[in-house]
Amino acid sequence: MTDLFITQPEVNNLPLSTMHGVVIPSRDNLDLVSYLSLPLVSDPNQDGKPEQASPLVLLVHGGPWARDEFGFNSLAQWLTNRGYSVLQVNFRASTGFGKTFLNAGNKEWAGAMHNDLIDAKEWAVAQGITTDDQVAIMGGSYGGYATLTGLTFTPEAFACGVDIVGPSNLVTLLDSIPPYWESFRQQFYESVGNPTTEEGLALLKARSPITHVDKIVKPLLIGQGANDPRVKQAESDQIVDAMKSRDIPVTYVLYPDEGHGFNKPENNLSFFAVAEAFLGSCLGGRIEPIGDDFSDSSIEIIHGGEFIPGLDEHMATLGNN
């Protein structure tokens, strides 16, 4: 192929990692189209065949009716730069792979959809990309739910988790569907579970991470926007409260001026500075000092700052608590 032009010349000469497309078989023989990015230190040839294992972040997309795509990904580049491999999996219910694949996720939140992620983790271990005890799970929205599911349904599978605006209780999630999603309600009922039926309500409760909160044994970081109309602040509040009541460590970061995700650059930078320190303490990757990464951010550490090295001390220098 002949290059026509470069869309981001400012990053063209930086030492970026290469994204590799891989197809991972699920335990029931579905093809999971996935993307693997490796740190330069473990894969100097950037051919997708690492010379040594490295800690891995399983980066789970939101939706779940969306998909990961091949191409430049800022989170993947940040994580590989810090020494982590990154695996992005199009688990069942991801869009773009046909109706059969999409509908294979119906009623499978924390079921077969989670099994796909576990199968992908085990594939990465078998390939020598990482080791069984050095895998973190991270994601936003449904990816946040997948993180909470990973730490509750499979408490020993991941070394730690980063949940960004993820629902913890499927019953309260469906109870709080915003008005602009009202026409979408029946699809939620079909895909996740119908709370108006006895069977559906039981399924939603069984597949909610908060139901199994006492099983959490690994470090957890939660980020939430106070104005989130889709996954309301109560979703994060209630699982943090449940963990606090059981003396289970958790770090909770809140942004009073954010919604479903962190859109202000200052807030985005501050959260990922916290996430970097969190992952570094968990997986041992490189950590850049926070420095002025909190400047002009609305970040509030609601609980558990002491569980991330240096976080409380840095907040104290800003006059925050």
Catalytically annotated residue among 61, 114, 260, 314: 260
**Rounded Cα distance, 247 and 36, in Å:** 36
255's enclosing H/E stretch is: strand 251-255
Average pLDDT, the chain: 95
Two tokens, residue 50 = 């690492």
Cα 173 to chain centroid distance, Å, stands at: 18
* Percent residues over pLDDT 90 in the chain: 88
141: annotated active-site residue: yes
Q: Is residue 148 within 8 Å of 117, Cβ to Cβ?
A: no
- pLDDT tens profile 120-146: 999 999 999 999 999 999 999 999 999
Two tokens, residue 161 = 């988790």
What is the total residue count of the chain? 321
Domains in the chain with CATH codes: 13-266 (3.40.50.1820)
47: annotated active-site residue: no
pLDDT at residue 11, as a whole number:
85
Read off the pLDDT band of 319 (50, 70, 90). low
**Rounded Cα distance, 25 and 20, in Å:** 16
Predicted TM-score (pTM) of the model is 0.95
The amino acid sitting at 192 is V
pLDDT above 70 for 164: yes
pLDDT at residue 3, as a whole number:
84
pLDDT at residue 29, as a whole number:
97
- pLDDT tens profile 29-80: 999 999 999 999 999 988 999 999 999 999 999 999 999 999 999 999 999 9
pLDDT above 80 for 152: yes
pLDDT at residue 321, as a whole number:
45
Q: Which residues are CB-neighbours of 228 under 8 A, at least 6 positions away?
A: 165, 258, 259, 260
Query: CA torsion, points 241, 247, 248, 250, in degrees to nearest 10?
Result: 60
DSSP string, 24-78: EE-TTS-EEEEEEE--TTT-TT-SS--SS---EEEEE-SSSSS---SS--HHHHH
pLDDT above 80 for 18: yes
Q: Which residues are CB-neighbours of 43 under 8 A, at least 6 positions away?
A: 17, 49, 50, 51
Q: How many CB atoms lie within 10 A of CB 264?
A: 15
Q: Which residues are CB-neighbours of 243 under 8 A, at least 6 positions away?
A: 213, 216, 220, 249, 250
- For residues 254 and 6, the model is more confident at 254
- pLDDT tens profile 178-206: 888 888 899 999 999 999 999 999 999 99
Cα 289 to chain centroid distance, Å, stands at: 23
Catalytically annotated residue among 228, 293, 297, 314: 228
pLDDT above 70 for 320: no
Catalytically annotated residue among 42, 141, 168, 208: 141
The strands making up 85-89's β-sheet, listed across from edge to edge, are 19-25, 31-37, 85-89, 56-60, 135-140, 160-164, 220-225, 251-255, 300-303
Interval 9-36 mean pLDDT: 95
Alpha helices (H) in the chain, listed in sequence order: 74-81, 99-103, 112-126, 142-153, 170-175, 185-191, 198-206, 233-245, 265-283, 311-317
296: annotated active-site residue: no
